[in-house]
Amino acid sequence: MPSKTKSPFVTRELAGRAVRDAFAKLAPKTQLKNPVMFLVYVSAFLTTGLYVCSLFGTADARPAFILAVALILWLTVLFANFAEAIAEGRGKAQADALRAARQDVTANKLSSPAARDAVQRVPGASLVKGDCGLVNAGEQIPADGEVIEGIASVDESAITGESAPVVRESGGDFCSVTGGTTVVSDWLKIRIASDPGNSFLDRMIALVEGASRKKTPNEIALSTLLVSLTIIFLIVIVTLYPIGMYCGVQLPLSTLIALMVCLIPTTIGGLLSAIGIAGMDRVTRFNVIAMSGKAVEACGDVDTMILDKTGTITFGNRLAADFFPVEGASRSDLIRCAALTSLHDETPEGKSTLELARRLGDSSEEIPGSSFIEFTAQTRMSGVDLPDGTKVRKGASDAIEQYVTSQGGKIPSDLHAHVEKVSSLGGTPLVVCQNNQVLGVIYLKDTVKPGMAERFERLRAIGIKTIMCTGDNPLTAATIAKEAGVDGFIAECKPEDKISVIKKEQAEGKIVAMTGDGTNDAPALAQANVGLAMNSGTTAAKEAANMVDLDSDPTKILEVVEIGKQLLITRGSLTTFSIANDIAKYFAIIPAMFMAAIPQLGVLNIMHLSTQNSAILSALIFNAIIIPCLIPLAMKGVKYRPMSSGKMLARNMMIYGLGGVVTPFIGIKIIDMVITPILTAMGI
With a pLDDT cut of 90, the percent of the chain lying above it is 19
For the sheet with 166-169, list strands across it. Answer: 166-169, 151-155, 182-183
Res. 386 pLDDT band, cuts 50 70 90: very high
pLDDT exceeds cutoff 90 at 336? yes
Lowest model confidence (mean pLDDT) among 221-225, 275-279, 427-431, 465-469: 275-279
Lowest model confidence (mean pLDDT) among 143-147, 314-318, 421-425: 314-318
pLDDT exceeds cutoff 90 at 401? yes
Residue (of 89, 96, 71) closest to 21 by Cα position: 89
Cβ pair 661, 304 in contact under 8 A? no
What pLDDT was estimated at residue 173?
58
What pLDDT was estimated at residue 517?
73
Residues 202, 308, 553, 582: which is the catalytic one? Answer: 308
pLDDT exceeds cutoff 80 at 191? yes
pLDDT exceeds cutoff 50 at 5? no
Three-state DSSP class for 293?
Answer: helix
pLDDT exceeds cutoff 50 at 429? yes
Lowest model confidence (mean pLDDT) among 36-45, 97-106, 299-308, 358-367: 97-106
Three-state DSSP class for 241?
Answer: helix
> What does the pLDDT average to over 542-564?
81
pLDDT exceeds cutoff 80 at 443? yes
What is the Cα–Cα distance from 282 to 565, expressed in whole angstroms?
12
> What does the pLDDT average to over 549-557?
76
What is the Cα–Cα distance from 537 to 486, expressed in whole angstroms?
25
The crossing angle, in degrees rounded to 10, of helices 556-594 and 217-246 is 0
What pTM was computed for the model? Answer: 0.68
The partner residues of 191 in beta bridges, in order of sequence, read: 132, 146
pLDDT exceeds cutoff 90 at 392? yes
Three-state DSSP class for 314?
Answer: strand
User: CA dist 357 to 40, 177, 319, 382, 435, Å?
Assistant: 71, 39, 12, 17, 20
pLDDT exceeds cutoff 80 at 419? yes
Lowest model confidence (mean pLDDT) among 11-20, 548-557, 587-596: 587-596
- Condensed to tens digits (0 to 9), the pLDDT of residues 635-682 reads 888 887 777 777 888 888 888 988 888 999 899 989 989 998 988 888
What pLDDT was estimated at residue 3?
39
- Condensed to tens digits (0 to 9), the pLDDT of residues 602-615 reads 677 777 788 888 88
Cβ pair 2, 97 in contact under 8 A? yes
The partner residues of 149 in beta bridges, in order of sequence, read: 189
CA 120 to chain centre: 41
What pLDDT was estimated at residue 104?
64
> What does the pLDDT average to over 370-381?
84
Residue 62: exposure state from Cβ atoms within 10 A (0-12, 13-18, ≥19):
middle
What is the Cα–Cα distance from 133 to 107, expressed in whole angstroms?
7
What average pLDDT is seen over the chain?
82
Catalytic residue check, 553 = no
> What does the pLDDT average to over 212-220?
69
pLDDT exceeds cutoff 60 at 127? yes
